[in-house]
Structure 1
Amino acid sequence: MSAPLINTNGLSEEQRMMREGVLDLLARHLPWERIRKMDETREFPHEAYNALAEAGYIGLFYPEELGGMGGSFKDIAVLLETMGYYYTGIAQAITTTAIYAGMHVAKFGTPEMKKEIVPKIISGEVKLALAMSEPGTGSDVAGIKTSAVREGDEYVINGSKVWITCAHVADYLVAIVKTDTQARHNGISTILVPTNAKGVEVRPLSMLGRRTSHANEVFFDNVRVPASNLFGGEGQAWKNIMKALGLERLGLAAISAGHCFKITEYARDYAKERIQFGKPISEFQVIQHKLADMLIMAETARQSIYRVAELLDAGQPVVTEASIAKIVCTENNFKCADMGMQIMGGAGYSMEYDMQMFFRDSRVGPIGGGTNEIQRNIIAKQLDL
């Protein structure tokens, strides 16, 4: 097998060490032959998740005052790119709790909530999921129907959610609900719901890819939670969601960027071993050009995430840049998988090889976390269109 294509140029010594440490840890706790079996059985990677938490990597996302390590956005980009390179499923498992749900608690939670929940996120003791999308409202978050009605010292929640990643292993749901059913954006609030609360039901969904950290349906039937579980301000969820999007899109993009390199390496190694017309297919220019284009897409994706991280570390807005990175990385990820499958021919289409899993796992990128059509709408708005 040839040398890895992804390099550590531009990374600090600490970031290089982190990358090596993460890859070594995952090789021990999530060996590749086990991933293939877990993909088939849709098994969550608990052992690797707990090992990453024990090694302190989840703490990278959180400030020191909450018990974290206070990593820079570049540090986070390197970590997620590395996990995406190794296996997108473990990357998605970590980001679902640490960023998509947990960061709402860290940024907007009550002091008591932060003190109670964030250290347990960092230690791996609790997992969270963000419950936002609904059967009738995917991209239209303001149109959600799930209601939370105040009754004394409690909120009573009714409704349903769909496509909720990792809800089946979550201890808490960060639920986006309507506290004012007559309003749109100003009627949305965020509430913390224990998954073991009476009236909460989670039903796993059979997804095409990312099966080890799959999506679920969630149903709320007269679920009662303390009024203190509402956080971030009543009717303020939309504004809070907007404030969290930069890091969320950086996370999605970084995972896909790392995956581009993994796919390109896999296709290259296959091409160097596959003999046709008396020589390896890697010696044919048509194959060489496909692999060159794949590396171009991988490196372009990588540069886009570091640009977003650089701006975030400088305290700059990243509305346009984050949407561009999300589009570039997720679409390049799928294009790499598609081209890799073409290079491998029938073997790429076979379940005996990993390329089919790369293809399946990459396809969710342009859909999840705000579709790429929505990202283009955002960019158009920034163009004053």
Structure 2
Amino acid sequence: MPDRAPQPVDRQLPTDEARDLISLVRDIAQREIAPKAAEEEDAGRFPREVFALLSESGLLGLPYDSEYGGGDQPYEVYLQVLEELAAARLTVGLGVSVHTLASYALAAYGTKEQQVEHLPAMLGGGLLGAYCLSEPSSGSDAASLRTKAVRDGDDWVITGTKAWITHGGIADYYTVMARTGEEGPRGITAFLVPGDAEGLSAAAPEKKMGMKGSPTAQVHFDGVRVSDDRRLGEEGQGFAIALSALDSGRLGIAACAIGVAQAALDEAVAYAAGRKQFGRPISDFQGLRFMLADMATQIEAGRALYLSAARLRDAGRPFAKQAAMAKLHCTDTAMKVTTDAVQILGGYGYTADFPAERYMREAKVLQIVEGTNQIQRMVIARHLAGPEGR
């Protein structure tokens, strides 16, 4: 059955402009995204036309400077947009988050000339980005990456393979971390690589348990040549750029997780109100009511946590610990809430006739991407107790 239109969340937004923005996003979600989500996910179809619409509507560059086509929106607002999109379809919400992540290195570390040349097309010109850090042999241990960039005159020649790349094979540009020097984090540099560069190719998309409409693929760099003016930041600064980007990206994942959890709760509440057993709606039974109450409480707590971290970021204060906490809590919440939603729907929850099973399958990946939740615990502990001994 088609997905239920996302139910309005009572949001505390800082400006009238932000309220209008959320209204626009909800309208797009209800008209263009939710009605097709189940069918297109089942078919494994990526909704490129939706991303074109989001770009035309100014929704692909919300947290960036309007001078370059961005929306000048604080993260507090941008993340709530992501939540609305993810509630309608995670492929879209997560795709916008990844695109924002792929644009970060240029927006935060690029030169003025680089920003003027590339950012307008990236933020509002219909382009779609991808972020290339992970490799087949370096996931959580990202600093051990092996993809190399070798200087050749005024160019760099990039050789290697990146793995688990969202939008791999369909992106218009890739933000790529490659080794240009010594082993370890200090030998890594960031590059902006066009999607049609000679020598760049993608493997067949991975066959996944969820997020089937979002292509995830290995990306191969076979002597890909880029000019030095596509190097982002200083040589050896790439890993610091990557970590800085991930702090913000984790907030995007947290918001998407709450969107999925909210959609699952809405489905469970509607089903429980309409399903009758023993002569009354199952929502009348205390055991089930307590499940719904716990689900709603964890969602509200997660939303408050990611918004609190966003406000720190907007104020220019450190937020890495809070971003890790938000990613950890919100994605664990999404996994628990979606599993409980399937339980509430009973046998129907286990069928593809209802979206609850898809929400559960999709929620799982959010505990893995952009730093597993085990890594988030390490990050949080490091802030509390200092670096681990060896």
TM score, norm. by length of structure 2: 0.93
> Residues 211 and 362 of structure 2 are in contact (CA less than 8 Å); yes or no, is this contact kept in structure 1?
yes
Q: How does 1:365-384 map to 2 (within 5 A)?
A: 365-384=366-385
The CA deviation at 1:44 is: 1.3
Is the partner of 2:269 in helix, strand or coil? helix
2:156 alignment partner in structure 1: 155
Deviation track 1:170-198 (CA, whole Å, cap 9, x = no partner) reads 01111111011x32111101112222222
> Residues 68 and 123 of structure 2 are in contact (CA less than 8 Å); yes or no, is this contact kept in structure 1?
no
2-side partners of 1:224 and 1:384: how far apart? 44
2:189 alignment partner in structure 1: 189
Give 1:197's aligned amino acid. Answer: A
> Residues 131 and 161 of structure 1 are in contact (CA less than 8 Å); yes or no, is this contact kept in structure 2?
yes
2:357 alignment partner in structure 1: 356
1-side partners of 2:51 and 2:5: how far apart? 29
> Residues 6 and 84 of structure 2 are in contact (CA less than 8 Å); yes or no, is this contact kept in structure 1?
no
Deviation track 1:273-302 (CA, whole Å, cap 9, x = no partner) reads 112222221111111111111101110110
1:78 alignment partner in structure 2: 80
Is the partner of 1:169 in helix, strand or coil? coil
Is the partner of 2:60 in helix, strand or coil? helix
2-side partners of 1:2 and 1:285: how far apart? 27
Match of 2:51 among 46, 49, 52: 49
1:28 alignment partner in structure 2: 31
TM score, norm. by length of structure 1: 0.95
1-side partners of 2:42 and 2:48: how far apart? 16
The CA deviation at 1:104 is: 1.1
1:255 alignment partner in structure 2: 256
2:277 alignment partner in structure 1: 276
1-side partners of 2:200 and 2:348: how far apart? 43
Cα 1:193–1:270, aligned 2, differ >3 Å: closer, same or farther? same
Question: Moved runs in structure 1, 4+ residues, more than 6 A?
Answer: none
2-side partners of 1:12 and 1:262: how far apart? 25
Cα 1:40–1:2, aligned 2, differ >3 Å: closer, same or farther? closer
Cα 1:119–1:2, aligned 2, differ >3 Å: closer, same or farther? closer
Question: Aligned pairs, how many?
Answer: 382
2-side partners of 1:3 and 1:49: how far apart? 19
1-side partners of 2:280 and 2:33: how far apart? 35
**Could you tell which deviates more after superposition, 369-378 or 245-254?**
245-254
1-side partners of 2:41 and 2:219: how far apart? 22
2:136 alignment partner in structure 1: 135
Match of 1:87 among 77, 86, 89: 89
**Could you tell which deviates more after superposition, 151-160 or 136-145?**
151-160
Unaligned runs of 5+ in 2: none
> Residues 264 and 294 of structure 1 are in contact (CA less than 8 Å); yes or no, is this contact kept in structure 2?
yes
The CA deviation at 1:11 is: 5.1
1-side partners of 2:215 and 2:89: how far apart? 14
2-side partners of 1:215 and 1:160: how far apart? 14
2-side partners of 1:186 and 1:62: how far apart? 27
Give 2:88's aligned amino acid. Answer: Y
The CA deviation at 1:331 is: 0.5
1-side partners of 2:172 and 2:61: how far apart? 18
1:17 alignment partner in structure 2: 20
2:106 alignment partner in structure 1: 105
1:200 alignment partner in structure 2: 200
> Residues 5 and 261 of structure 1 are in contact (CA less than 8 Å); yes or no, is this contact kept in structure 2?
no
Is the partner of 1:168 in helix, strand or coil? coil
2-side partners of 1:359 and 1:100: how far apart? 25
Over aligned residue pairs, what C-alpha RMSD do you find? Answer: 1.8
Is the partner of 1:217 in helix, strand or coil? strand
Deviation track 1:78-110 (CA, whole Å, cap 9, x = no partner) reads 21122122221111111211x211111111123
